[in-house]
Structure 1
């Protein structure tokens, strides 16, 4: 069977290829096609993958294909992992917001909306082509902002597209370890949006272990997320928020947006995007020569060990765990293999995925994409179990962000600058028509390609 990876020149693609190659017993992918619009990056990734797979028995054949239609034809699964605008676009997404004293992060808040505005027209085209040229294919969306982009792709692909993210399953497994439970075989009630969700139970063999975990200081401090949140707050809300929820909490602090530190709002230090653009730029500039795989592994270790480093304290990260291992264990490449194995009929699975709401959150439209615990098999993925209602505070935040995601999708499809202005201005991390207008104007200046999307004044 063929797996096609769109965005095949992406830095983390070798993780996916390696995971798939080592899982032939679970899912029989014998051909992997890498597609990208950047031929130079594609050549480097191809060299890394070739070195990686040299000693892997019965490894799948990996080749590149520049033509999108030929790349997807005959595919059983299509992974969409594109970055429209490249790493420099990410720098602009973050910096325009930071210059206004707002959160600069590629998926959360203004940066995520800017990223989405230039991405939706491209993924609309991709979805239309896949629907025509490979209607049998399952489409797995990695492209950020994952929930919003998956929702856009559903217009053409319906339930054939599923969005994935590694942070929810990472939270679940971190909680399982902290509670002394096996990482596999534990489930839970997870609900929200991508990068805006909460784990409300931790279930193993019919018992919910979350209340006991929340009551035990020593166990709770073993959580990676304990470095991000006051553990008394975790007990107060009686659930475990995903790591990205910290951005919403910080924006509400009375000291003001401009006082925040690190890679967040108001800082004069280079942001995460600028760091990765420089680091990955140097890696790709070295070309596809011998030793590419070792250079990639070194760059990957640097990337993973600086992930949210501004928020994770030594007190919590030195509790006997290797951060890089935690980041990669249950990472999105492993989630992708689990999902693919289930969709292709090998083994039904419990997962946390980006799927159509279908009544789970009654306030939201049925076709709105949420992030939710789910069951997956050869018939597709669907929300699993009984989901407790969100609290009113959680629901208000989810509804506000989802409304802005819908505005961004419509703005990208109609070219409406007015709708884009509303998306920025009404977002819970902005809540200001003046700042919304400044964001729109800043992104239009920074990203000329966005002016081709938003053509209606």
Structure 2
């Protein structure tokens, strides 16, 4: 089985290689192709990947290329983990919105829109290339903003499923708190990518979330950066990204007083690349855990194994709504437990969602629709419309100012911006 990793020069790649090696019985891979335009990065990551596989006695061959078409030939799945503009673009996304009093973040708000505008055209071009060469290959998208990017792929008829590590990370965390195996824990996980709530935590089918909040509320709240009083008031566990909505002004003050996350990650990546260049390094460095993407490899391997092996199991994925949340359009992309098999990801029925959550889900879905329109068709007017619809912006003067800054910061990536 051949698996292609687009963005193979990412420092995330050893996490993925480690998962493929550990979970070899689930996903019997014999060839891994790392695709990246940066030759030095892809060859460096290929070398450490080969050492890791040798150490774990895994037979897979690792090859590299800059050409997605060459890589896609004969591939069972193509995993997308790319970042257009690198950490430098991310650092800008996290800074210029603060000048307007808005959160600076790479997947939501004005910074998230900038990332979507840069990313969607690149991802869809790669997906078109893959389909031309190998229409049967599955595309697994881990590229942020996952909801918008996955919607772009599905809108163009690609065989695609979106992947995020938030749900699996919380599942593993709750299992640890409960002192049990992760396989016994299921989540009632509902919402959009990076806008989700855990409404129930099921241990062998029994909801144990009230007990978790009673016994571990402070620890859970600290992990997701939200007040424990909010969690107990809502009776749910929001994703970390909800703090940008529930604590917007506090987050802006914090961000103005500290270095950006992109600066932290860039420093970490520098260390990781130095480690990967060491010919004695043949395992995933502990430092990688701080890079983000915890349990990414487990989620990716499980998803690909079920798509390619028709396992018909349940995993949290980013999928087409198709009536699952009746207050959203059918073509919206939602993040919910889904049955994964050879025909793709099918969302399971979802219990009624209360107005406290539907309002925010609906507003962000509308923003994502407008963001995709801007990414596909361009135009400052479409950018302004998307920002005006976003709950973290929502004011005309801010939308105007942020549009000007977004275009100024990203002209080199947006052919239509002039």
TM-score by length of 2: 0.93
Q: Which residue of structure 1 aligns with residue 84 of structure 2?
A: 84
Residue number among 341, 347, 365 corresponding to 1:377 in the alignment: 341
C-alpha distance 441-413 of structure 1, shift in aligned 2 (>3 A): same
Q: Which residue of the partner structure matches residue 396 of structure 1?
A: 359
What is residue 301 of structure 2 aligned with on the other side?
Answer: 337
**How big is each residue's C-alpha offset from its partner over 1:115-163, in whole Å with a ceiling of 9 and x where there is no partner?**
00011111111121222211111111000001110110112344x2111
Structure 1 Cα separation of the partners of residues 359 and 134 of structure 2: 39
Q: Distance in 2 between matches of 1:106 and 1:222?
A: 26
1:130 alignment counterpart: 130
Does the CA-based 8 Å contact 1:118-1:449 persist in structure 2? no
SS in 1 for 2:154: helix
Match of 1:319 in 2: none
Q: Deviations over 1:287-311 (max 9, x none)?
A: 84524657x726425x34xx6xxxx
The corresponding residue for 2:384 is: 421
Task: Determine the structure 2 residue equivalent to 1:312.
Answer: none
Sort the Cα spacing of 1:270 and 1:353 in 2 relative to 1 into closer, same or farther, 3 A: same
Give ranges in structure 2 of 5+ residues lacking alignment.
none
CA offsets per residue over residues 102-121 of structure 1, 9 Å max, x none? 21111121111110001111
Separation in 1, partners of 2:223, 2:7: 34
Where do 5+ consecutive residues of structure 1 fail to align? 308-326
CA distance in 2, matches of 1:222, 1:430: 31
Deviates more, 1:30-39 or 1:13-22: 13-22
Q: By percentage of residues, which structure has more helix?
A: 2
**Match in the other structure for 2:405:** 442
What pairs with 1:261-272 in structure 2 (closer than 5 Å)? Answer: 261=254, 264=255, 267-272=256-261
> CA separation of 1:56/1:173 partners in 2, compared to 1, >3 Å: closer, same or farther?
closer
Q: Which of 274, 288, 294 is residue 300 of structure 1 equivalent to?
A: 288
Residues 268, 231 of structure 1: CA spacing in aligned structure 2 closer, same or farther, 3 A cutoff? closer
Q: How far is 1:391 from its partner?
A: 1.8
Q: CA deviation at 1:47?
A: 2.0
- Give distance in 2, aligned partners of 1:348 and 1:28: 18
Give a deviation string over 1:327-349, Cα, whole Å, max 9, x none: 73xx1111001111111116432
Q: How many residues align?
A: 418
Q: Give the equivalent residue in structure 2 for 1:236.
A: 233
Q: Is contact 2:114–2:406 with CA below 8 Å preserved after alignment?
A: yes
Instruction: Report the CA distance between 1:424 and its aligned residue.
Output: 1.8
Counterpart of 1:321? none
1:323 is matched with none
1:220 aligns with 2:182: no
TM-fit CA distance, 1:274 = 2.0
- The structure-2 alpha-carbon separation of the partners of 1:221 and 1:257, relative to structure 1 and needing over 3 Å to count, comes to closer
Alignment RMSD (CA, Å): 2.3
Residue 189 of structure 1 aligns to a residue in which SS?
strand
SS at the partner of 1:197?
A: strand
